[in-house]
Amino acid sequence: MLPTSIGNLSDQLFELYLYANQLHGYIPRSIGNLVGLNRLHLARNQFTGYIPSTIGNLYRLKDVHLDTNQLSGKIPDVVGNLSSLLSLNLSSNKLEGVIPLSLGNCRSLIELYLYDNKLTGKIPTKLLQIPSLSKTLDLSRNNLFGSIPSEAGDLKMLSELYLSDNNLSGNIPSNLGGCVSLSILSIQGNLFQGIIPPSLSSLKALVEIDMSRNNLSGQIPKFLERLQYLNLSYNDFEGEVPTSGVFANVTTFSVLGNSRLCGGFVGLRLPKCKETKKHKTKFLMFVVVGVLSASILLTIICLLYAWQKKKSNNQLSQTSINTRFLKVSYDQLLKGTDGFSKDNLIGRGGFGSVYKGIIEKDGERVVIAVKVLHLQYRGAQRSFMRECEAWQNIRHRNLLKIITSCSSIDYQGNDFKALVYEFMPNGSLHDWLHPTLRLNLLQITNILMDVASALDYLHNYCIPSIVHGDVKPNNILLADDMVARVGDFGLARFIGTSYENSSTEIRGTIGYTAPEYGLGNEMTTSGDVYSFGILLLEAITGKMPTDNIFNEGFSLHKFASMALLDHVIDVNILKQYQDDESFIRKKEKNAQKIEECLASIVKIGVSCTMDDPPQRMDIKTVMQKLQQVLDTLQNI
């Protein structure tokens, strides 16, 4: 439990982080004595009871994170005293009652997360009149009712609005067209009715909409084509489904459960739309044929011939696209993984779980790895879209091979999305590095070369260039022949396209992420080089960047730098290879060459992990130097 004596700490204490421990019991009222606090992070513990009203004494607070606990009761009105508050996260608790009107007094608030609680009542209009709300307002998964107040249109700076899985009703207000910065609108799982307001067409920043599981009707507006993700499933829309933009890729939109729709992408298998202008079109054709001269007729014939040829080519191209990836259903994946059983679970990531399974392909049973997206996690939808976009166009010996994707509905009516890859029997590089190193120096160098080759392809040969964004041992898979394959493009950035990461997105994994990302800088190929350098040093030293010894400014980069005494590798680092018999035999005859190889590899890692991006070695130079090391090792 958090002791009452916490309140005896200095009133000059600036930040208190107790995030992600196993603390339980009540949050002591004495915490209100820490009047100097700017940041309070108690998230991901097991706190119960009420939020103490004494929190209202902490008038200097800018960030409060109490999410993912078991707090109950009402949100205290005193939160309105926190006039300097920038970020408030009370999500994933058991809070009840109404959203306090006093929150409207927090006029500096940038982001507010209240999702996954038991809050009830209507959305307060005062909450929607906070001009500073510019990042996220998330009230999803509560018991809110009533309509969306028209004041929502005043949130001109808001980027993301989540109101899903409540009991909200009425029409979608046309005033939402005033939210000119809105990029994500999520209102699924409510009781909304009426049409999609045309005013939403003015939201040029909008890239993602989820309006599924409502009672919306009318025709699907054509302006939705420009989105990157759209879910309109389980409503009552009618008429023709557009075929351009987002509607041209079955993995980026869904219109399931709308029985009155027609046309659209062939993969939807919807009925054809009735031709209402057939007779009028024929009449006009007769008139045109009657008045056109022979030369014009000849031109038309030529154009028709060219059009027919282009159409045939397009159909051939479409057939190629459709057959390149195997089609699998939710039912096939469910059966192939034995109901996504724990026995078949082979890994977990930030946005999904990976299962081993078996499917039929060309009459043969194929072992696969199925990554099932956790769509309840923020960013999972975008991660799925980004992976589909990446795998659609990239092919390389050192990239994981994707078999197909599946975008469907499970047996409970929930959205289901999964990616199906070839199964890698030797697991991930992490498995071979920890807890005990099971690779020899030549194997490690070959694997590092494979990863560098994949990054060189992504950075320099893909159009557009791709930044992987999450290079780490867990994302390096090993085939039967120990050839490395880079996987997981859920955080990838496509340079110069609409798939670039926003400033609020997750960027990599702690310990492997380039330091400039922490300052809000754009993701770049130089960031991938930094992550690769950390991976390299981890493979050579056997130490993870998050090991306990790395604190208070001491890092894996500094550890490796210190090992390079006068450009000769410290002998202590060689302990990682003492159990490798082939290394021991070679060491006796070629000790100096092997130590030089190790020193060269460590130098590469140190250069790649410089804090200043321009000082880092580029990936092509990395490959050249690794090849020199490989040539030496193979000749020993």
Amino acid at 578: Q
Structural element, H or E, at residue 605? helix 581-608
Amino acid at 280: K
Catalytic, 470? Answer: yes
CA–CA separation, 617 and 181 (whole Å): 38
Extract the tokens encoding 598.
């190790």
- In three-state form (DSSP H/G/I as H, E/B as E, the rest C), the secondary structure along 82-133 is CCCCCEEECCCCEEEEECCHHHHHCCCCCEEECCCCEEEECCCCCHHHCCCC
Closest of 348, 390, 350, 417 to residue 210, by C-alpha: 417
Extract the tokens encoding 564.
């390079």
Phi, psi of 204 (to 5 degrees): -70, -20
Residue/partner pairs of 571-574 with CB below 8 Å, 24 or more apart: 573/540, 573/541, 573/598, 573/602, 574/598
Closest of 60, 80, 70 to residue 23, by C-alpha: 70
Beta strands in 222-378 (DSSP E): 229-231, 236-241, 253-254, 260-263, 345-348, 352-361, 364-373
Neighbours of 88 (CB within 10 A): 24
CA-based max dimension of the chain: 98
- 441-460 and 525-541 are packed helices; what angle lies between their axes, rounded to 10 degrees? 180
Extract the tokens encoding 244.
């351009």
CA–CA separation, 563 and 537 (whole Å): 11
Distances in Å between the Cα of 432 and the Cα atoms of 438, 477, 539 are 5, 10, 9
Q: Residue 504 carries which DSSP code?
A: T
Catalytic residue among 116, 138, 470, 488: 470
* Burial annotation 485-514 (CB, 10 A radius, 16+ → b, else e): bbbbbbbbbbbeeebebeeebbbbbebbbb
Q: Residue 549 carries which DSSP code?
A: T
Using DSSP's 3-state secondary structure scheme, residue 236 falls into strand
Asked if 369 and 355 touch (Cβ cutoff 8 Å), the reply is yes
Asked if 361 and 393 touch (Cβ cutoff 8 Å), the reply is no
Asked if 88 and 107 touch (Cβ cutoff 8 Å), the reply is no
Residues marked active site are found at: 470
